[in-house]
Structure 1
């Protein structure tokens, strides 16, 4: 039996970081490849999971109502303008399935998160890529490329470069897209892990009906294994996405853990203090190693250009029980780029130590 959608045949899963991608005793491996919160999840989450173990035999709320109420309290976005997904990635694919077609022109700045491209190509849309290592520097040219009657994907801050666009520049993109009758999909999955400023544009949702914002509790609250994200947009967009999602798409324990995370008023503050401190430590020390150049990042990971090929570097570090992200799989980057997540001081020191050793042998 052949798929009715010809694009399914060509589809190939994207590469990502994370311990699932390697073999060995994962408990001994320091995972710098997966850029989640360096503090892990809020302390209350483990307690909630233990308390709710008896509920695993009960179907979860298919509408995630209590969680959406808490997201409303957290974001101030009306309840009917919130959709919850089994990870942010589910929402990306549902969005593409709902609003894109073979006729839809799509603009994606690269390098960036690969699932936008994958989701769009499953719909057969016409994709244009805009190569930039810093969209702040190339914004005017990017604005001119925004298609008519299409869609624009922007990751802010961007994965893997760590570049952050301020609100005013994001509004320029949304404004230009509106004039062109295009929708802007803004991925803010790392926006809460930006220590220096708050550049979220969720308040613009009430101003622009062509704006959709994606958020993830995976990154901000360290819930990667529970898979939970949410989307914010106008009532029409959210209604369509809510009708499209599969029933019971988010487990009950995931919903309870997300609620507990959102109620922790100090966790993100502590996380960002650590990110600010350890970013400076890593950037300073790695930049002083011959053959390593750190891109400036506004969030909890750093893109590094290296003299050592990324796959070789990954293998050498893995022998020392350290896992990094090989960035050669990102469209727009080559085999001389890696990405590391910011972790605690002891773990960061171990990484720096091993990078120095490798540098000395090349």
Structure 2
């Protein structure tokens, strides 16, 4: 059997998480996944206790109630919303809808690897723009914006944590529009920054903008897989038509609705992240051989003199999992990434780093 060359040679993107390693110890403290340090809202726990009776029922294929609740949460019309089985499903569906073999695509690196992966499966022509902080190279980046193409921007960026202001994003959007180019903005970590109003989600009606967000990170629902996208009605209609039926389980939809009803959950999370970010960065920067990059969200990229792979193995012996960043295009074994967690967990990490350098 013959397969298309780009399909046959495709390699899945490596990620963090307990199952990124063989035979994970359930006692591991996972700093490799950037999920809400508070976990998930208590209301979701109550749902899971009573929701078993709904397992035999097919879920709503259009996630109607969740879209209505999200519409109130982010203040955009229901018709401008699509729900995905995690944000990653939406990335692949977007590329299927927009990217062809002749589409020029611009991706700043290092960044989340699934953009490149999804574009490659569609045969798009990728150009990479190397920068550790796009704010510092924005003029050069704007000059690289292709015509009749597509740009992918992760904001805040994963793994660097750098965030572009709304004004900067609008500058990119205006230039892209003049070039008839789509802009895909991944804001999955935006709600966990200290200024979530830097989001451009209220400009999704521009026509050339598609915004991705996720409840995985903000509300700790990683295992339930709920992401969403915001765009103009035409784009959303196409994505609804090509997504697989029943893509989001009924329990996931209900859990997401309940999570969104927890009014103070995100503010509590942001307060914890702000406090623990200062603690982690200050403490780790004092350890010889480690330097922390500035981050605006719930994770920190760290430059290390010890190989990231070696450091990961040493910390695993102490039941701590960190993200080896050598698998990010544009980075090497000089970088690790850690999620911001609770004080008890963060203290454990600091002590382990001191002993493992």
Q: TM-score, normalised by structure 2?
A: 0.99
User: Do residues 156 (structure 1) and 155 (structure 2) align?
Assistant: yes
* Cα 1:197–1:97 shift into 2, 3 Å: closer
Question: Equivalent residue for 2:10?
Answer: 11
Where does structure 1 lack aligned partners over 5 or more consecutive residues? none
Map Cα deviations across residues 297-353 of structure 1 (whole Å, 9 max, x no partner). 000000000000000000000000000000000000011100000000011001000
CA distance in 2, matches of 1:148, 1:59: 43
Question: Equivalent residue for 1:329?
Answer: 327
Map Cα deviations across residues 88-110 of structure 1 (whole Å, 9 max, x no partner). 00000000011100000000000
Question: Equivalent residue for 2:116?
Answer: 117
CA distance in 2, matches of 1:40, 1:6: 41
Question: Equivalent residue for 1:95?
Answer: 94
* Cα 1:25–1:17 shift into 2, 3 Å: closer
Question: Equivalent residue for 2:32?
Answer: 33
Question: Equivalent residue for 1:229?
Answer: 227
CA distance in 1, matches of 2:121, 2:327: 19
Question: Equivalent residue for 2:2?
Answer: 2
User: Do residues 297 (structure 1) and 260 (structure 2) align?
Assistant: no
Where does 1:1-362 land on structure 2 (aligned, <5 Å)? 1-3=1-3, 5-196=4-195, 198-206=197-205, 208-359=206-357
Contact 2:190 2:196 in 1 (8 A): no
* Cα 1:197–1:92 shift into 2, 3 Å: closer
Where does structure 2 lack aligned partners over 5 or more consecutive residues? none
RMSD: 0.8
1:25 is displaced (CA, Å) by 5.0
SS of 1:198's partner is helix
Query: Number of paired residues?
Result: 357
1:6 is displaced (CA, Å) by 2.6
CA distance in 1, matches of 2:45, 2:243: 28
Q: TM-score, normalised by structure 1?
A: 0.97
Map Cα deviations across residues 96-130 of structure 1 (whole Å, 9 max, x no partner). 01110000000000000000000000011100000
SS of 1:28's partner is coil
1:24 is displaced (CA, Å) by 3.7
Contact 2:147 2:179 in 1 (8 A): yes
1:358 is displaced (CA, Å) by 1.6
CA distance in 2, matches of 1:315, 1:174: 42
